[in-house]
Amino acid sequence: MEARYFITGTDTDVGKTIATAQLLRAFAAAGHVAVGMKPVAAGCEWRNGQLYNSDVAAHAAASSIQAPAALVCPYLFEAPISPHLAAREEGRSLDLEYIASAAHHLQAWADVVLVEGAGGWFAPLSDEYNIADLAVRLQAPIILVVGMRLGCLNHALLSAKAILDSGLRLAGWIANQIDPKMQRYADNIAYLRANLPAPMLAEIAFQPNAQDLTLPAQAITLLACGASAKQAINN
């Protein structure tokens, strides 16, 4: 089993946090100590003198342990806009090495760390760096969350190609049914199964309490099989 995975999505609002929370619970159910990390969270509000972010809170609720706040989310911004714009408005800059250091220190708290990105694969973090640069710096296998709606086939295939072009391994993908009325849903799933270069780990059905649920054990088994196959190839 890999010690760290990076969760990205085909776009913003495709269910990365829901998938991360469900995956954290699945790891815990499989006997792992798992913790979520949101390196950059924009769209926060002040609560009791501290910045609060719903994605970070969802990770905390699903994680096996409560790690230090500075490690699970190094950068919090108030404005609900792209992180590079939020940072600019607050006169701050994002340091990839600082994030990488936080991720490294989190490994002392848990045997599995799930790092959730912001937006899609090329979402900017600054004028110089984007989410892809952060993932490459962390050198973690990628889990792609596909928001199942019209247009998802193109977004998923483009995202997968970009991930592989970066030199990282696409460990698997998760289908999240964000449009409950999507036409030909099953046909779209079948196409992605046949054309994405990684196994489908799970499907997440559209339901109000999805964030509080757990992915099937099969998702962890598939990830473990992928890690074992990679190790066998390297040996």
Please enumerate, by residue number, every residue annotated as part of a binding site for Mg(2+).
17, 55, 116
CATH class of the region 1-8+29-140: alpha beta
pLDDT at 227 over 70: no
As annotated, the active-site residues are: 38
pLDDT at 233 over 80: no
| Amino acid found at 112 | V
- Main-chain phi, psi angles of 41, to 5 degrees: -125, 115
pLDDT at 231 over 80: no
In a 10 Å sphere around its CB, with 0-12 CB exposed, 13-18 middle and 19+ buried, how is residue 137 labelled?
Answer: middle
The stretch 139-164 carries a mean pLDDT of: 98
The stretch 127-150 carries a mean pLDDT of: 96
Which residues of the chain form CATH 3.40.50.300?
1-8+29-140
The stretch 121-138 carries a mean pLDDT of: 95
Average pLDDT, the chain: 94
**Predicted confidence (pLDDT) per residue in 70-125, tens digit:** 999 999 999 999 999 999 999 999 999 999 999 999 999 999 999 999 999 999 99
**Predicted confidence (pLDDT) per residue in 184-220, tens digit:** 999 999 999 999 999 999 999 999 999 999 999 999 9
Please enumerate, by residue number, every residue annotated as part of a binding site.
13-18, 55, 116-119, 176-177, 209
pLDDT at 70: 95
pLDDT at 232 over 70: no
Return d(Cα 100, Cα 90) in angstroms, integer.
22
The dihedral formed by the CA atoms of 156, 162, 166 and 171, expressed in degrees to the nearest 10: 10
Percent above pLDDT 70 for the chain: 96
pLDDT at 226 over 80: no
Q: What is the pTM of this model?
A: 0.94
- Where do we find the tokens 């959730």? 116
Please enumerate, by residue number, every residue annotated as part of a binding site for ATP.
13-18, 55, 116-119, 176-177, 209
pLDDT at 1: 55
**Predicted confidence (pLDDT) per residue in 13-57, tens digit:** 999 999 999 999 999 999 999 999 999 999 999 999 899 999 999
**DSSP string covering 93-152, please?**
---HHHHHHHHHHHTTT-SEEEEEEEEETT-BSSSS-BHHHHHHHHT--EEEEEE-STTH
Q: Given pLDDT bands bounded at 50, 70 and 90, which one contains residue 2?
A: confident
**Is residue 116 a contact partner of residue 7, using CB atoms and an 8 Å limit?**
yes
